[in-house]
Chain A
Amino acid sequence: MIEKADQIFVLLAHWLVSFLPAVLQQPAMVLLGVVAIIVTFPALFAITVLLERKGLGRMQNRYGPNRVGPYGLFQPIADGIKSLTKEDIVPLSADAVVHFLAPVLLVVVVFMGYAVLPIGRNMTLVHMDAGLLFFFAIGASTELSVFMAGWSSRNKYSLLGAMRAVAQMISYEVPLLMSSVAVVMITGSLSLGRIVDAQNQYSYGLPHWYIFTPWGFAGFLLFAVAATAETNRSPFDLPEGESELVAGYFTEYSGFKFALFFLGEYVGMMGISGLGTTLFLGGYSAPLQVLGFVPSWFWFFSKIMLSMCVFIWVRGTLPRLRQDQLMNFAWKFVLPLSMLNLFVAALWRFMGDGLMRWGLCSAILLAAYVLMARVGLSWKHIGPRSYRYAD
């Protein structure tokens, strides 16, 4: 029974496919998986947008949308209809083809990332040995689409936003990769399925998630920071910067293309949350051994939604960074720490079991953190910029 609940979607797919002739079964299976992903994550996107609007409202002591349907629950539907029926405006001087392709590329690329994510037990669309590499390669393509959007719009705000986006995404891609490489070093595999299997073990009823190790904890925090920046999410939302750049690279987009950008952004966030979950939070494994009876896919989705809630919480809390602060933070704080984290992960790997490695690894990371924060960021070239003629 438990096994059936866990594998319900797999069994359902097999049952559906069994009606087809044998030749068609394999492609139909793949197609079903693709459709499932394309249906599920936009649905989650709708829920997330509602959560975000209501949650942010509560954080700012207001109600948030509460007019459409009971408690405003149908707000995403209303938003969807609105964006579908709005006029699609393409600026006269825009490069129409690239302007059209940019949102399409973003959405396609963002959905491709899900191909390698293990959503549940036996629920990976493509079992790829270098799944992590594929995810990052695909993820890097979002920069292209962002720049296409900014460049083709022929609008100074769009171009500024796109420039900022590219600078930011390239800067934060490095720590994002570096913090993930630590996991690869420990697991010895680029396969996301293998990484989850390595964490899906329990001692004393507690899971072997990488976040519960010193290097994993530091790696997760660095990964979270880099992922936030990578998805252009507040406080790193400079490319969009409503207050100074109107909407950044999608200023010139309206109607459904705008909605596609919106969708791409959120689905991308969910994708990177899924990757973070897979790398550090044990993927689809249960947080306690006794909870193992709950279906694996439930854990994956609840972990994703939980991290979306954290994204919303952070957005409701932090103001936007300045461009120089953003770059300083990436190159002078996050990157050195993630490189140190690689070293610590190596230490962890070769020191063998025992309290000794816990103490040493934690001490190195903590010392580095304090040192970087206290000394590094207060140093005049790293800290807040002072303007000579400001006073």
Chain B
Amino acid sequence: MLGEGILKGLGETARNFAGSFVSAERLTTVQYPEERVAPIEATRDFPFLVYDGSDWEKGLRCVACQICEKECPPKCIYIVKSTDKKPDALGKPQIYPVRFDIDISVCMSCQICVEVCPFEAIKMDTEFELSTTDRFGGLLYDRKELAKSNEYYHTIHPTEAAEVDARLAEEKAKADAKAKAAAAAAAAKAAAPTAPKPAATVVSAASTPAASTPAAKTHEGEKPEGDKQG
């Protein structure tokens, strides 16, 4: 019958109208600034730099290998390598970024920088209230603004951070064992008169992710070619 559907529809909207005043579960709107939904664990928006310990400058995991800078599709990362080396959180001398800038107005939150980082140094943040009145400087984050502690990483992505910590501990244990073995070998060779040489080998063997550093090197070497082709 013509009009039946219209009446049914009118009934439905009337039910919605009246129902929204009596039953709260009909209104699914979360009134944002006052009410918030806790972000789901997989939330991500912009990258930040992880540091261990309490001093952000000392504990920065980043060794300025520039893989992320090269992989970044919109090219929003800018890194300047240091000329000197500084001991990292584990006490090894490492190159560190003198400048590490991310322009979050350019960043597209693709997470590629996180995936390529061999040092677990860059991770995705969940902070989204980043509005600023300065559209250029205010959205260009330097390394100080980007540095966030590992504890913070644990609070925003607990599962992922635990995995990362386990992996880092494993790598550290492996490196320690290797160093110990190297030290033992050095001790065995202690009879030999060339004393300072084994010390040098210890240092090179101890560079934490023993396997990934060369890989990173090759990657670094290959990439510019690819860029030229592209």
Contact = CB atoms under 8 A, between A and B. Distances in A.
A317 B26 contact: no
Contact of B12 (A62, A63, A317, A369): A317
B29 A63 contact: yes
Contacts of A314: 10
A313 B31 CA distance: 25
Contacts of B12: 317
B29 A60 contact: no
Nearest to A67: B31
B188 interface: no
A81 to B, nearest CB: 22
Contacts of A373: 1-3
Contacts of B16: 58-61
B13 A316 contact: yes
Interface residues of B, number: 19
A61 B13 CA distance: 9
Contacts of B10: 313-314, 317
Contacts of A193: none
Contacts of A317: 6, 9-10, 12-13
Interface in B17-32: 17, 19-21, 26-29, 31
A55 interface: yes
Contact of A377 (B2, B17, B31): B2
B14 interface: yes
A59 B17 CA distance: 4
Given A317-B6, A373-B3, A377-B2, A62 B27 contact: yes
Contacts of A313: 10, 13-14, 17
Contacts of A60: 16
A63 B28 contact: no
Of A55, A61, A318, the most chain B CB neighbours within 10 A belong to: A61
Contacts of B21: 58
A51 to B, nearest CB: 12
Contacts of A318: 6, 9
B18 to A, nearest CB: 8
Interface string A346-371: 00000000000000000000000110
B4 to A, nearest CB: 9
A62 B9 contact: no
Contacts of B29: 62-63
B173 to A, nearest CB: 54
Contacts of B13: 59, 313, 316-317
Interface residues of A, number: 19
A222 B27 CA distance: 36
Contacts of A316: 13, 17
B27 A63 contact: yes
Interface in B115-156: none
A372 B3 CA distance: 12
Nearest to A235: B6
B28 A61 contact: yes
Given A313-B10, A313-B14, A317-B9, A61 B20 contact: yes
A85 to B, nearest CB: 20
Interface in A100-135: none
B6 A58 contact: no
B95 to A, nearest CB: 51
A66 B33 CA distance: 13
Interface in A31-72: 55, 58-63, 66
Nearest to B26: A61
Contacts of B27: 61-63
A316 B28 CA distance: 18
Contacts of A369: 2
Interface string A316-337: 1110000000000000000000
Contacts of B28: 61-62
A63 B6 CA distance: 24
Nearest to B8: A317
Contacts of B20: 58, 61
A62 B30 CA distance: 10
Contacts of A59: 13, 16-17
Contacts of B19: 61
A60 B29 CA distance: 11
A58 B10 CA distance: 13
Nearest to A378: B2
B8 to A, nearest CB: 9
A63 B31 contact: yes
A318 B12 CA distance: 11
Contacts of B31: 63, 66
B19 to A, nearest CB: 8
Nearest to B9: A317
A370 to B, nearest CB: 8
Contacts of A372: 2
Contacts of A66: 31
Contacts of B1: 370, 373-374
Interface of B: 1-3, 6, 9-10, 12-14, 16-17, 19-21, 26-29, 31
Interface of A: 55, 58-63, 66, 313-314, 316-318, 369-370, 372-374, 377
List 9 tightest A-B contacts by C-beta distance, closest first. Answer: A373-B2, A317-B9, A59-B13, A58-B20, A317-B13, A58-B17, A316-B13, A59-B17, A61-B26
Given A61-B26, A316-B13, 9 more contacts: A58-B21, A59-B16, A61-B19, A66-B31, A313-B10, A313-B17, A372-B2, A373-B2, A374-B2
14 contacts: A58-B16, A58-B17, A58-B20, A59-B16, A60-B16, A61-B16, A61-B20, A62-B28, A63-B29, A313-B10, A317-B6, A369-B2, A370-B1, A374-B2
